[in-house]
């Protein structure tokens, strides 16, 4: 909770609301991701609303693909739906950097024995680099760390961390 307040205060300092700022922009993203601990392949979708060239809020959804991961893991699959704040500091050159943070819900699917699906609160933060392709398209590599506060199991403590490395194509934005 304290980290969320700090991010919002930082956003207000970095990009104050003014009547003469650039118009807002919607940015959509789609791509693939690799999840670690346990290792899974995943699909990644997102949408961000830029209030200025440096600040956006949005959502990200990521879910593992069936049978595309560690067959020895206690989880059969998992996914995240996260509300995010993004800061894009001014950078020199073509690369665009972003830092992100937010909270959401994780969906964890357990296999046998005791197959069930669990929904748990999730906190995320990360960073990314993007390469502009055209005026409103970019290719981005994004690393995010998710901390899920799910129930303790025999092999998993609460909170449980998962790392995602995503390669996404983004359309729109400033």
Asked if residue 160 is part of any domain, the answer here is yes
> What range defines the domain where residue 104 resides?
2-8+24-172
For the chain, percent of residues with pLDDT exceeding 70: 75
Answer yes or no: is 14 within a domain: no
List, in sequence order, every beta strand (DSSP E) within the chain.
Answer: 25-36, 40-52, 55-69, 75-87, 96-110, 116-134, 137-148, 160-172
Classify residue 109: in a domain, yes or no. Answer: yes
pTM: 0.77
* d(C-alpha 68, C-alpha 148), whole Å: 21
127-149 confidence digits (pLDDT tens): 999 999 988 899 999 999 988 88
Domain count, the chain: 1
pLDDT tens per residue, range 80-126: 999 999 999 887 778 999 999 999 998 888 776 667 888 989 999 99
**Residue 124 domain flag:** yes
Integer Cα distance of 78 and 69 in angstroms: 11
> Which of the residue ranges 22-26, 32-36, 58-62 would you say has the lowest mean pLDDT?
22-26
Q: 19: pLDDT confidence band, cut at 50, 70 and 90? A: very low
Token pair 């296999």 in the structure block, residue: 111
């Amino acid at each position: 909770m304290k980290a969320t307040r700090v991010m919002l205060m930082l956003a207000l300092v970095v990009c104050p609301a003014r009547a003469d700022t650039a118009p807002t922009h919607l940015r959509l993203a789609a791509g693939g991701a690799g999840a670690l601990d346990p290792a899974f392949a995943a699909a990644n979708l997102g949408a961000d609303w830029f209030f200025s060239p440096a600040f956006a809020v949005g959502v990200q959804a990521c879910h593992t693909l069936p049978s595309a991961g560690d067959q020895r893991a206690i989880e059969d699959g998992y996914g995240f739906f996260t509300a995010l704040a993004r800061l894009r500091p001014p950078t020199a050159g073509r690369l665009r950097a972003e830092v992100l943070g937010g909270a959401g819900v994780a969906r964890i699917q357990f296999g046998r024995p005791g197959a069930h699906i669990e929904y748990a609160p999730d906190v995320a933060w990360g960073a990314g680099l993007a390469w502009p392709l055209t005026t409103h398209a970019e290719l981005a590599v994004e690393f995010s760390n998710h901390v899920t506060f799910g129930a303790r199991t025999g092999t998993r403590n609460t909170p449980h961390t998962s790392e995602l490395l995503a390669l996404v194509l983004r359309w729109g934005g400033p």
